[in-house]
Amino acid sequence: MRTGLRRRQWQAIRARLGTWGVRVLQTRGFGWDLSESMDAGAGSIREAGGAFGKREKAEEDRYFREKTKEQLSALKKHHEDEIEHHKQEIERLQKQIERHKKKMKSLRSHD
């Protein structure tokens, strides 16, 4: 029951944020906790604690910070590209407007 609810919540989040938003949320730890579905008896260095566990946690944190940074950088570039595209589109449309204004002016002068 709880898994189905989480799945529906995740689908709703995905629908609202799109792929980029979901990826950012996942890397920042806002996704569902996968540790619940893992076998508790499997064990890991991190669960054992000590220096190795701390080191593993630090490496994982660094990895996810880097991934988040890369994804945010890609998202920023995507938005910059979109802005540039829209600026070019605006410029193209403004040229068309000017061309139509000139045609209208020439038609008025023929009257």
pLDDT 10s per residue in the chain (111 long)? 456 666 776 677 667 766 666 556 566 555 444 444 444 444 566 676 788 888 888 999 999 999 999 999 999 999 999 999 999 999 999 999 999 999 999 998 876
**Token output for 70:** 């890369």
The pTM of this model reads 0.48
Quick one: which of 57, 31, 32 has its CA closest to 44? 57
Q: What's the residue count for the chain?
A: 111
Contact 20, 78 (CB under 8 A): yes
